[in-house]
Amino acid sequence: MMISQFFVLSQRGDNIVFRDYRAEVPKGSTETFFRKVKFWKEDGNAEAPPIFNVDGVNYFHVKVVGLYFVATTRVNVSPSLVLELLQRIARVIKDYLGVLNEDSFRKNFVLVYELLDEVIDFGYVQTTSTEVLKSYVFNEPILIAPARLQPIDPAAIFTQGAKRMPGTAVTKSVVANDPSGRRREEIFVDIIEKISVTFSSSGYILTSEIDGTIQMKSYLSGNPEIRIALNEDLNIGRGGRSVYDYRSSSGSGVILDDCNFHESVRLDSFDSDRTLSLVPPDGEFPVMNYRMTQEFKPPFHVNTLIEEAGRLKAEVIIKIRAEFPSDIIANTITVQMPLPNYTSRASFELEHGATGQKTDFKETNKLLEWNLKKIVGGAEHTLRAKLTFSQEFHGNITKEAGPVSMTFTIPMHNVSKLQVKYLQIAKKSSTYNPYRWVRYVTQANSYVARI
Amino acid sequence: MAPPAASARYPSPSQPSGKSEVTDLKSQLRQLAGSRAPGVDDSKRDLFKKVISYMTIGIDVSSVFGEMVMCSATSDIVLKKMCYLYVGNYAKGNPDLSLLTINFLQRDCKDEDPMIRGLALRSLCSLRVPNLVEYLLGPLGSGLKDNNSYVRTIAVTGVLKLYHISASTCIDAEFPATLKSLMLHDSDAQVVANCLAALQEIWSLEASHSEEACREKESLLSKPLIYYFLNRIKEFNEWAQCLILELAVKYVPSDSNDIFDIMNLLEDRLQHANGAVVLATVKVFLQLTLSMTDVHQQVYERIKSPLLTLVSSGSPEQSYAILSHLHLLVVRAPFIFASDYKHFYCQYNEPSYVKKLKLEMLTAIANESNTYEIVTELCEYAANVDIEIARESIRAVGKIALQQYDVNAIVDRLLQFLEMEKDYVTAETLVLVKDLLRKHPQWSHDCISVVGGISSKNIQEPKAKAALIWMLGEYAQDMSDAPYILENLIENWEEEHSAEVRLHLLTAAMKCFFKRAPETQKALGIALAAGIADFHQDVHDRALFYYRVLQHDVHVAERVVSPPQQAVSAFADTQSSEIKDRIFDEFNSLSVIYQKPSYMFTDKEHRGPFEFSDEIGNIPITPETSSDIVPAQQYEANDKDLLLSTDEKDDNKGLSSNNGSAYTAPYENSNISSQMQELAISGPATSATTTQSSFDFDDLLGLGLTAAPAPTPSPPLLKLNPRASLDPRAFQQKWRQLPISLTQEFSVNPQGIAALTVPQSLIKHMQSHSIHCIASGGQAPNFKFFFFAQKEAEPSDYLTECIINSSSAKAQIKVKADEQSTSQAFATVFETALSKFGMP
């Protein structure tokens, strides 16, 4: 289970950090890796898989904020272990630097080396716990201004739309002190749900799934114990029924197909009262991951119509309706639809008085794109696109276009109805009352309507 | 190394103009070295950072080594760390200068701050300079006894580093024994985990030449030790848990209670958020229950949900790793996943490597109950913007059609693809329709009417063109214009670049000719002429052959080229089941990702310690030799190097002297035997060494060319060398190279089963029949043995895998032989020998 080297490359292929633990892999592995990834297929279509072998050296990589985190080894190791490790290294570095990007990386590379020395020794993982690492690492992070933060970070979703969220909170380093010299006592619990829905051409749901995470980031001093209470009517496992056997969700509570937990979580009273207890280590980590295929109400309804208008013209009408309460606002919505490849032109018509909407026809890959800054619950929006074809179409035009896919973020809304009922922090004194943030968000993972 | 960062925005690793920068650094460092001015540490930090950033981007800064060491006299721990990092990187290339660092590192190893002791020790051991190892012994010895656990964890890994620099120094200092005791008694979990990792590596490498190391390595798998680890597994961090689980996979449980105990201990590991922990646990469960069919199946049901959760909770890269393992399980036991097919639907935005896996899984689990839904879904992908995925989807539909009985609906869908009029869709579909017709000729009518409507001009891909041409030839009687389409294609012979297509054209023209001679004769003539003039050897040969056979007799030609159609019942699987089993045994490793057993992509010394990558698989192996049975020894079942690996080993045991024949090198066997074959057939042997050999050979074939001095009466026909020898490496190699020449199953008599309670006795028994055991393993009811035998006085080997199930009293053997023709004779000898087992 040992790795030979670890390195981080920028998008251009520059070494940002490079650590050789076992001196088994010949020089030039960074170039070999980069060339292979860049030119995986001659046509550049297919992405390089996360694991490949060149001349007996196995290369593992994950992409985080546009950087390649790479490990090499000659040994037949567990692939999950190495990929998990790479992801974890990225998380530890983020815990330290507050913001993870090329800039912060380059400013702090000595600190990163220091971390890497403690995370891995002679290729064997020692620890990836920010908590444990704190006592071995001495460099102070050089923080970069959060203003330069790009919304690439999943945590950045909270900085938009929801005013009561302190925008900088999630970009704080776990070790650095505030300029004031005082640390704010606070803890964040985020319920992040990624939903996948496929609608058939007639509009009914073919498949749907929620992949949720309860993520925690603690800035509490002294590591107090925490209790998280979930819905009392929460059930896990769908018994002997087939997983896709939908039934009415009325009154049956929240049913998770399955879930797993962070190693710090104790489940002593989980069966009786659905509470999780843990002493949160420093840094960001998932308390619980869950998966759910129980029927839920999809947040958006999509309706697409294609009408032929003469031999070289057609009109596409896309209608989206927000199926959530009007006090909820979805943001950064993108709707995409591939058009027939003989489409030469597309002209768009937005509804009257539309604001914050953008349309685009991407000529190279014949893609229609519609961006909306926000959608208020209950609202409906329509896009009309007039297409001009360079040749006469034959057969069925719907087979040449679509499907319509959507991405969006809906803060303060979760479709599973899983809730954190309360968050209890073991009190150190009567005056101890740290800030607790419980935040919900729903994001599209794969949201597709066939036409 | 990579070119320096092109951007000037980053001040630290900015572009150095070259050597002058390094020289500059050198003088600056020199200035600071002796300075005690306030703030000097800050200036040093900046300079050190610059040095390290150059190092990172690949600029050689080894020339400042001396200055760096001079500057290292500091109490600033951040500076020290940077200096250690630098030294570790360049020491190997500067052994002389490294000596300079020894002093301060040794001093730091005695610092009162445990952090500094640890760091210094780690750097000291990372110098990788062979002639400095003597300086390591003292600090390592005290590091292992340090009262601070941080120092001890580093010291333990330090021992492993020392072993890699100088194995003998490490062994002579008896560090492994110290590690063993630390592993059993230390209170710190990370120290224990590092001991386990280090000992596994050291003993695996030592095992090839030290029996003691073999025993030690095997002792790691003893019941008390395994339970010692498993009972306190939660004290270890997740990475160390993986290490322990990897160890537990190799443990051979004593009985079914043992199995259930372990599974209960590990049950909650399946709920871990770390995929590596879950997969390692899954592997333990799968391997433990291999011989318990029902429980094994329950394990599949149990692990399904956690794995699916991991697939959807991690990054795309992590899901890929998990999905690859699910893929393996799905292909092994499709029926268990049949109702979960929707989980394997492709998502719109998934990378294509994930989609490919999912398509294969959907293909595997399609059965009567879900085929309709799966095929409907796959048809959606055929319109995918990603052309490669669209192709794969169509292929998947085709594969499903080929594995189903009721293909009615699928044929309709395939034919609809043709109507989409996309080149690549049509191309893929044609290939499929061709395969489908080969298997289900009854569909020809429906297909041909549609295929006939396709204009051959629109088809450019050779495979598709070949498929169309094949259909034109095969179904010429049903397609009215087949001869004319062929004629058209033949007229453009010169423009046809693919030899495959030209070959098909020749054959199709012939077939068409037999069915519709008047219309095709002219075209056939042109085709044959063009073919004979073709520069491609195969095309030329085929054309010439057709021409001659037609000249000889047209009816014969028809029988040869266009025999009555026969439906193909099964298409050859691309991977043998043996390879698949091997990949399954290597669950939770790269083998699963690459879909190849490890010997195909790793060289042997990197296959990892403690890895089982052999066909012997999950069963630990007890190697046996004819002269010396060491029952307690268990060896890792690696590919080439398993068992008693090296030649010295043989020498030690005097094995080679056992072999009376002159042919000691087993890999020369095939040469020699073929040489002998010639001799035997051409007449009396001339060489003294081969005379004797040829007796048996002739005898066996019943040639009787030479008068055998003592002809063996049949049966047994085959006489085996009682003192045969074969080193395990050669066994391994042969086992891989040779095909299975014979598989047989027979019953074992009850006495034999009774005697099998001591598996060693079977080994001795078979040995008395000149069949030698090379490895054995397993526990009731499944025993597995690998035997070899050699023909008397002739180095022709028989390799046998024998699986005995004591509850069903059946033995199954697989024989691989140098001379396949005699494997039946050998099997008879084997069965006779086995039947006498347990008899008084």
Inside any domain, residue B410:
no
**pLDDT value at residue B606:** 59
CB contact under 8 A, B271 and A110: no
CB contact under 8 A, A10 and B5: yes
Q: Average per-residue pLDDT in chain A?
A: 85
Reported confidence tier of residue A397, pLDDT bands at 50, 70, 90: confident
Residue B545 token pair? 């052959």
Residue B622 token pair? 């007890």
Reported confidence tier of residue A238, pLDDT bands at 50, 70, 90: low
The sheet carrying A300-308 orders its strands as A300-308, A313-322, A380-389, A343-350
Q: Say what percent of chain A tops pLDDT 70.
A: 87
Inside any domain, residue B163:
yes
Region of poorest pLDDT, from B95-109, B229-243, B729-743: B729-743
- Please tell me whether residues B647 and B584 are part of one structural domain: no
Which amino acid type is present at position B521? Answer: Q
Is residue A163 scored above 90 in pLDDT?
no
**pLDDT value at residue A180:** 57
Reported confidence tier of residue A1, pLDDT bands at 50, 70, 90: low
- Please tell me whether residues B99 and B224 are part of one structural domain: yes
Is residue A371 scored above 60 in pLDDT?
yes
Reported confidence tier of residue B662, pLDDT bands at 50, 70, 90: very low
DSSP string, A209-224: EEEEEEEEEE--TT--
CB contact under 8 A, A76 and B598: yes
DSSP string, B159-191: HHHHHHH-HHHHHHTTHHHHHHHHHHH-S-HHH
Q: Model confidence over B770-792: pLDDT tens digits?
A: 888 887 777 677 788 888 888 87
Looking up tokens 């290729």 gives A123
**pLDDT value at residue A170:** 57
Residue B552 token pair? 């000889």
Q: Average per-residue pLDDT in chain B?
A: 79
Q: What dihedral do alpha carbons B527, B530, B536, B542 form, nearest 10°?
A: 40
Residue B157 near residue B123, CB atoms below 8 Å: no
How far, in whole angstroms, is CA B483 from its chain's centroid?
Answer: 49
Reported confidence tier of residue B242, pLDDT bands at 50, 70, 90: very high
Is residue B434 scored above 80 in pLDDT?
yes
Q: Model confidence over B112-132: pLDDT tens digits?
A: 999 999 999 999 998 888 888
- Please tell me whether residues B550 and B664 are part of one structural domain: no
DSSP state for residue B457 in the 8-state scheme: G
Residue A21 near residue B88, CB atoms below 8 Å: no
Helix/strand/coil for A330: strand
The mean pLDDT of B428-455, rounded to a whole number, is: 80
- Last-in-domain residue among B186, B212, B245: B245
Among candidates B490, B494, B450, B449, which has minimal Cα distance to B469? B490
CB contact under 8 A, A74 and B603: yes
Q: Which domain holds residue B521?
A: 451-566
Q: Chain B residue with minimal CA distance to A192?
A: B313
Q: Model confidence over A122-134: pLDDT tens digits?
A: 999 999 998 889 8
Residue B639 near residue B604, CB atoms below 8 Å: yes
Residue B348: which of A107, A291, A405 has the nearest Cβ? A405
Inside any domain, residue B425:
no
Separation in Å, CA of B555 to nearest CA in chain A: 47
The mean pLDDT of B571-585, rounded to a whole number, is: 79
| b/e code B571-592 from CB counts within 10 Å (16+ = b) | eeeeeeeebbebbbbbbbbbbb
CB contact under 8 A, B380 and A58: no
- Last-in-domain residue among B203, B225, B245: B245
Long-range contacts (CB closer than 8 Å, 24 or more residues apart) made by B104-111: B104/B69, B104/B72, B104/B73, B105/B139, B106/B135, B106/B138, B106/B139, B108/B80, B109/B139, B109/B142, B109/B143
Is residue B630 scored above 50 in pLDDT?
no
Reported confidence tier of residue B691, pLDDT bands at 50, 70, 90: very low
Residue A84: which of B274, B316, B589 has the nearest Cβ? B274
Reported confidence tier of residue B184, pLDDT bands at 50, 70, 90: very high
Q: Which CATH number fits the domain that encloses residue B149? A: 1.25.10.10
Among candidates B97, B105, B100, which has minimal Cα distance to B81? B105
Which chain B residues are within 8 Å of A196, Cβ to Cβ? 347
**pLDDT value at residue B431:** 87
How far CA B767 is from CA of B148, B745, B764, B814, in Å, comes to 55, 21, 5, 18
Region of poorest pLDDT, from A27-36, A88-97, B484-493: B484-493
Which amino acid type is present at position A93? Answer: I
- Please tell me whether residues B626 and B594 are part of one structural domain: no
CB contact under 8 A, B387 and A45: yes
- Please tell me whether residues B561 and B689 are part of one structural domain: no
Is residue B230 scored above 50 in pLDDT?
yes
Separation in Å, CA of B773 to nearest CA in chain A: 29
CB contact under 8 A, B318 and A125: no
Inside any domain, residue B89:
yes
Region of poorest pLDDT, from B71-85, B197-211, B263-277: B71-85
Domains of chain A: 5-133 (3.30.450.60), 185-297+413-449 (2.60.40.1170), 300-411 (2.60.40.1170)
Residue A272 token pair? 């009786």
For residues B205 and B197, give the distance between their C-alpha atoms in angstroms, rounded to a whole number: 13
- Please tell me whether residues B542 and B672 are part of one structural domain: no
For residues B326 and B587, give the distance between their C-alpha atoms in angstroms, rounded to a whole number: 10
Q: Write the ipTM.
A: 0.88
Q: Is B253 left (phi over 0), alpha (psi -120 to 50) or beta?
A: beta
CB contact under 8 A, A109 and B386: no
Is residue A429 scored above 90 in pLDDT?
no
CB contact under 8 A, B310 and A63: no
Q: Which CATH number fits the domain that encloses residue B782? A: 3.30.310.10
Which chain B residues are within 8 Å of A117, Cβ to Cβ? 81, 85, 122
Q: Say what percent of chain B tops pLDDT 90.
A: 27
- Please tell me whether residues B688 and B740 are part of one structural domain: yes
How far CA B675 is from CA of B12, B387, B690, B691, in Å, comes to 70, 55, 10, 12
**pLDDT value at residue A432:** 79
Residue B243: which of A1, A31, A117 has the nearest Cβ? A1
Separation in Å, CA of B1 to nearest CA in chain A: 6
Is residue B167 scored above 70 in pLDDT?
yes
Inside any domain, residue B823:
yes
**pLDDT value at residue B300:** 93
- Please tell me whether residues B717 and B775 are part of one structural domain: yes
Separation in Å, CA of B321 to nearest CA in chain A: 6
- Please tell me whether residues B58 and B94 are part of one structural domain: yes
Which amino acid type is present at position A91? Answer: R
Helix/strand/coil for A40: coil
Inside any domain, residue B294:
no
- Please tell me whether residues B651 and B782 are part of one structural domain: yes
Q: Model confidence over A287-326: pLDDT tens digits?
A: 999 999 888 899 999 999 998 888 888 999 999 999 999 9
Helix/strand/coil for B209: coil
Q: Model confidence over B352-397: pLDDT tens digits?
A: 889 989 999 999 898 888 888 899 899 888 877 678 888 889 889 8
**pLDDT value at residue A294:** 85
More confident residue, B180 or B10: B180
More confident residue, B715 or A335: A335
Q: Model confidence over B456-514: pLDDT tens digits?
A: 777 888 888 889 889 888 888 888 888 888 888 888 888 888 888 999 999 999 999 98
Among candidates B66, B50, B63, B64, which has minimal Cα distance to B4? B50
Residue B234 token pair? 């939660």
Separation in Å, CA of B785 to nearest CA in chain A: 26
Is residue A284 scored above 50 in pLDDT?
yes
Q: How many domains does chain B have?
A: 4
Which chain B residues are within 8 Å of A63, Cβ to Cβ? 317
User: Choosing among A76, A211, A268, A408, which should be mutated to test the B contact, i.e. which has the most B CBs within 10 A?
Assistant: A76
Inside any domain, residue B316:
no
Is residue B41 scored above 70 in pLDDT?
yes
CA angle at A296 for the pair A292 and A300, rounded to the nearest 5°: 120
**pLDDT value at residue A299:** 95
- Please tell me whether residues B647 and B796 are part of one structural domain: yes
| b/e code B541-564 from CB counts within 10 Å (16+ = b) | ebbeebbebbeeeeeebbeebbee
How far CA B19 is from CA of B1, B24, B827, in Å, comes to 16, 9, 74
For residues B512 and B727, give the distance between their C-alpha atoms in angstroms, rounded to a whole number: 58
DSSP state for residue B456 in the 8-state scheme: G
Is residue B824 scored above 70 in pLDDT?
yes
**pLDDT value at residue B481:** 83
Inside any domain, residue B441:
no
For residues A23 and B126, give the distance between their C-alpha atoms in angstroms, rounded to a whole number: 10
- Please tell me whether residues B749 and B645 are part of one structural domain: yes
Residue A291: which of B161, B190, B309 has the nearest Cβ? B309
